[in-house]
Amino acid sequence: MRDLIEIQQKLLPDLVEVLRKRYMLLQSIYHLQPIGRRALSQVTMTTERILRGEVELLKEMGLLLFTTAGMSVSEEGQRVLERMEPMVAELFGLTDLAAQLQTHLRIPEVIVVQGDADRNEWVKQELGRVGARVLKQRIQEGDVVAVTGGSSIASLADHLTPSPAFRTVQFVPARGGLGEKVELQANTLASVMAAKTGGSYHLLHVPDRLSTDALQALLEEPGVREVIDLLRTSRIVVHGIGDALVMAQRRKYSPQELDELRAVGAVSEAFGYYFNDSGEIVHRMPTIGLQLEDVQNAEVVLSIAGGASKAKAIHSFAKQQAYHNVLITDEGAARALLAQIDPKGASV
């Protein structure tokens, strides 16, 4: 496969680029369907004139369907996407990107998906689809799975499907609630994952950020204590990686607290811990939920984060080598991260 791709790139370099563009277009429509041409042009940042010719060609090939609601991928189009998936990583250089990240970050397994979540909305759906596949591959009967909140984990939840192995699995929220979009909170996602797979779930009815007194009082509640004890038995942890200041703002940190985070060089956030560029903990939020020592005891820690803007945060958290062994990211983050690590050898 690799030899054939190298020959194609040398003899027909334009063919690979055309294939790449049409594959990304088909993926965009698949994840966002039904979608109109104007909305699609905005998502793909392509003019409607150029887009019209491409979608008409895909329609003539039987890969797209047109209705009053918009475009969608036909059954044949879905088969094409499925058949292309095994070769996409090699064809678009994603295998090389993943190998470089594994070497530089010393993570046992890295998967890189096509695109950049900062630029294309469908890429986050692709991250979730791959994340769901990896979770299904790693799950065992009787597992306790700790899940955090966030849009990447919500996408993973959307792509889960029933499986006999999930029937005895318990999904548990790793954190309390941020007090904003309920559909992105860990409690909601734990229940969605259970509903999608046929498993069961528990809820953690506490705010994400607490005062010291409130923290101690809640830890004495039997219901809270029960969930915390269950969390500590998690064999699998599924989580996102956040930008430190963005997460602090979502948690309603005061301007003074934000300045303090900047002063200590906070770059990334996960599980209520804030890390600097060297991966050192520079701030720990008083909160109820999974602690880093609990994460370290898990057998499978699946980290999902995409978009070039997340490169520094991913790099920062990756310095905590004991805390994750599978990273799913996208091409945008991978290339930005490699450029940050090795500016001279970043191109792939």
Alpha helices, DSSP H only, in the chain? 2-11, 13-32, 37-44, 48-60, 75-91, 94-105, 121-138, 151-158, 186-197, 212-219, 222-231, 244-250, 255-263, 292-297, 311-318, 331-341
Residue showing tokens 């994603």: 94
DSSP 69: T
Distance CA 287, CA 290 (A): 9
pTM: 0.84
* Residue 96, token pair as written in the block: 């090389």
Is the sign of the CA dihedral 320, 325, 328, 333 positive or negative?
Answer: positive
| Residue 115 CB-half CA count within 13 A | 23
Distance CA 280, CA 262 (A): 14
164 cis-preceded (ω within 30 degrees of 0) = no
Distance CA 144, CA 105 (A): 27
Distance CA 128, CA 155 (A): 4
Tell me the pLDDT of the chain (348 aa) as tens digits.
556 556 555 655 677 778 888 888 888 898 888 998 888 888 777 787 888 888 888 898 899 999 888 899 999 999 988 888 777 777 788 888 999 999 988 899 999 998 899 988 889 999 999 999 999 999 999 999 999 999 999 999 999 999 898 999 999 999 876 556 778 899 999 999 999 999 999 988 776 666 666 666 677 677 788 888 899 999 999 999 999 999 898 888 889 999 999 999 999 999 889 999 999 999 988 777 888 888 888 999 999 999 999 999 999 998 865 566 899 999 999 999 999 877 554 444
- Using DSSP, state whether 173 is helix, strand or coil: strand
| Amino acid type, 265 | G
Distance CA 306, CA 219 (A): 34
- Using DSSP, state whether 206 is helix, strand or coil: coil
Complete domains list, the chain, with CATH: 2-84 (1.10.10.10), 93-345 (3.40.50.1360)
pLDDT at 211: 64
- Residue 178 and residue 208 in contact, taking contact as beta carbons nearer than 8 Å: yes
